[in-house]
Structure 1
Amino acid sequence: MATEGLRLRRLSRFFVTPCFPPGAGPDYVNACAAVDGPADPRAMLERLHAVEAAFGRQRVQRWGARSLDLDLLAADDTVWPDTATQERWRHLPEERRLHDAPDDLVLPHPRLQDRAFVLVPLRDIAADWSHPLLSWTVAEMTQALDPVALAEVIPQR
């Protein structure tokens, strides 16, 4: 990360989680990190993708097998590219979520509030961060999740 001009500020514990989408491969190890880098979200994502590439990641298929997957979940209280786009992707009907993908970065990540494998590690480092459109903290979003989904996020020993 340092080679790409990124500085790690905080890192969560590591968690074993079922792969997503279900059946797409082996279980994952998930974590969240707070990272300093470019202020421009697109430039930050480009640097994260460069780190992935250094670890052999090839972006061939959406949700395909990968050696490393670094997602940009949020950038402080930035809504990118705009509120209407973020809300459109956040409210995308479930049947379209596996097939439709935005062609540009959307922040905060449109599914962040729905995913235990994201929120549990994020709670480790940013429990008080508040979603700029939902006005819920990470702790509140985590608490609202299905207990079955939460139980699938297991701290790695």
Structure 2
Amino acid sequence: MAIFILNIKNTVLLISLLLFLSLEPELSLSSSIHDLLRSKGLPAGLLPKEVKSYTLSEDGLLEVVLEGPCLTKYENRVLFDSVIRANLSYGSLIGVVGLSQEELFLWLPVKDIIVYDPKSGLILFDIVVAHKELSLSLFEDPPDCECKSQGELQNHVIRKEKEGFVETQR
């Protein structure tokens, strides 16, 4: 009798474990970078739809790989490199590398993106020379991004100066 009860407990435990393992791949497949951003208090549309993969280390370093460098537009045009890196914490991407925003014919690197208070409806972009507040509604949905080859991007971007400023061709 004791052997029969022990076998039932082991069987129930084994079935539970198998069910858990069979569900886990579905959970990881449904998780996207856009879901991750939302879970961290950031809008999903900060990154384009064309994300190929991403990794998030235990210390919060986020690395996002796109299909290639690409251009899109929120309020102004933005340029994503093939790889974007930042330290992700709740409500912020700090130390962003690989993202530039066009301001008055110059491409300026975006350094930080912060949502201090979601109720305010504003998101702060630190673009080195200024802090720019934009409406969170601009970033609700991931934008389509026009992927460019390096040669095509050279038609849009002439040179990078030492400070990270990039001038556009007119």
Select the structure that is richer in strand.
2
Greater RCO, CA 8 A, separation 6+: 1
Fold shared per TM-score above 0.5? no
Q: Between Structure 1 and Structure 2, whose CA radius of gyration is higher?
A: 2
TM-score w.r.t. the length of structure 2 is 0.27
* TM-score normalised by structure 1 residue count: 0.29
